[in-house]
Amino acid sequence: MIAVLTGALDDISKAMRLHRVWVALAHEDIGDQHRRTTLGPIWLLINYLAFAGTFVVIFGENRSVPHFAAYVATGLLVWLYFMEVITLSVTLFAREESFIKGTTLPLTIYVMRLTMQSVIRAGYALVGCLAILLLVRTPLTVDWLWSGLALIMIMIVTPAVILVFAVAGAFFPDLSFIVQNLMRIGTFITPVFWIGPGQGIRGEFYRWNPFTYFLEIVRLPVIDAEFPATAFGICTIMIVLLWVLAVLLLGRCRKKIVFVL
């Protein structure tokens, strides 16, 4: 066990020392994705606004959901981020196969590269979310700082989530198809545009869905000007557990990944 932890922490520490590498690679990736476009990465902002705007227009002012536009905007910000991170994580090591087999870089480099990419893309979506909140005149209160803390917590858990799904995806390639389908379904069983907890099966989806609590820690301080203590506590526990699992998987599997790709 000590060897496992030592190996994992050594891999992580080496990647942290090479932070300029994964930061540069992430920026290059974002630039390459929009190299021949006129607006460049601004399309990331437009995509979010188009998606959120469509939800608000189609579903209208849902009277069962107070502050519906703000509710949807904040919910989509968090959900789209997690959906992208998890979907891309499953095939991460397969996409990076040539680098993994051709270099001696620590595996965490690729994890942090994807983390940085996702954070950059989410930054554009955040600008769109703030624009919607201001447009619908959501009251600006000091409680918004709790939402800022929640976003930091989400960034902290991102590398752990990527590691868990990337390792699992390397050993079980079919997982990518399973995850894609589950994330599509998750859009409807996660309270992105409906309110909970409610009764019956929908209430169970609300209570037992881990994404619910990450949505709440970002959303409730903005919409209800309150500190969701329970949601913050649950999210903290999940973050710790995910990092423990990620470190154990990294320590046990980092030398095996190259042989299963």
What torsion do the CA atoms of 29, 95, 166, 26 make, to the nearest 10 degrees? -10
Domain of residue 133 covers 2-260
Question: Rounded to a whole number, what is the distance in angstroms from the first to the last CA of the chain?
Answer: 25
Distance in angstroms (rounded) separating the CA atoms of residues 252 and 115? 22
Instruction: Write down the mean pLDDT value for the chain.
Output: 89
The number of folded domains in the chain is 1
Distance in angstroms (rounded) separating the CA atoms of residues 29 and 31? 5
What percentage of the chain has pLDDT greater than the value 90? 50
pLDDT of residue 1: 74
Summarize the confidence of residues 230-259 as an average pLDDT: 92
The tens digit of pLDDT for each residue in 143-177 reads 999 999 999 999 999 999 999 999 999 999 899 99
Q: How confident is the model at residue 200 (pLDDT cuts 50, 70, 90)?
A: confident
Q: How far is CA 113 from CA 15, 86, 168, 227, 247, in A?
A: 10, 14, 18, 32, 17
Judged by average pLDDT, the poorest of 59-68, 98-107, 166-175 is 59-68
| pLDDT above 70 for 64 | no
Q: How confident is the model at residue 38 (pLDDT cuts 50, 70, 90)?
A: confident
pLDDT of residue 204: 86
Summarize the confidence of residues 132-151 as an average pLDDT: 91
pLDDT of residue 65: 67
pTM of the model: 0.92
| pLDDT above 70 for 60 | no
pLDDT of residue 90: 95
